[in-house]
Amino acid sequence: MCHKNEKQFLCVICEKQFAFKSAFNVHMTTHMAEKPFSCETCGKRFAFKSAFNVHVRTHSREKPFLCVTYGKSFGRKQYLTEHMMIHSGEKPFSCVNCGKRFAFKTAFDVHMRTHTGEKPLSPDADGYHISLMN
């Protein structure tokens, strides 16, 4: 059984870790050479039609996901879902060290660094991101 935040699947190419095999399998396709979906605007290529569709909206500025409370639109469903937490007050990310709760994973991750001493990601000479430790 996989414990919360345990990541048991490691990509040997880029060292990214995943808690679920399905997410790992999807990630591994990003390293594959075949990317049949090509953006006519910028030429960027994609392995998945869904990722291609999201990308195309960045050029058109289309934002089909609407907050019915504020009328604000978002380009990705994920962004609307995160925004809706503002209205619901939901804070699903909880610090096991101090109990502080967060609505957004990014804010939670930044907070967790206060306990671990880990510093934000920083590009190395090869363009990859590495974590700097004290």
| Residues 2/14, Cβ–Cβ less than 8 Å | no
Q: Is the pLDDT of residue 98 over 90?
A: yes
Average pLDDT over the chain, rounded to whole?
Answer: 81
Domains and CATH numbers, the chain: 37-88 (3.30.160.60)
57-66 pLDDT per residue, tens: 889 888 999 9
Q: Is the pLDDT of residue 131 over 60?
A: no
* Lowest model confidence (mean pLDDT) among 1-10, 54-63, 79-88: 1-10
- Give the pTM: 0.49
Which of left, alpha, beta for 4 (phi over 0: left; psi -120 to 50: alpha)? beta
| Residues 48/70, Cβ–Cβ less than 8 Å | no
Instruction: Please name the helix (run of DSSP H) or strand (run of DSSP E) that holds residue 121, with its range, or none.
Output: strand 121-123
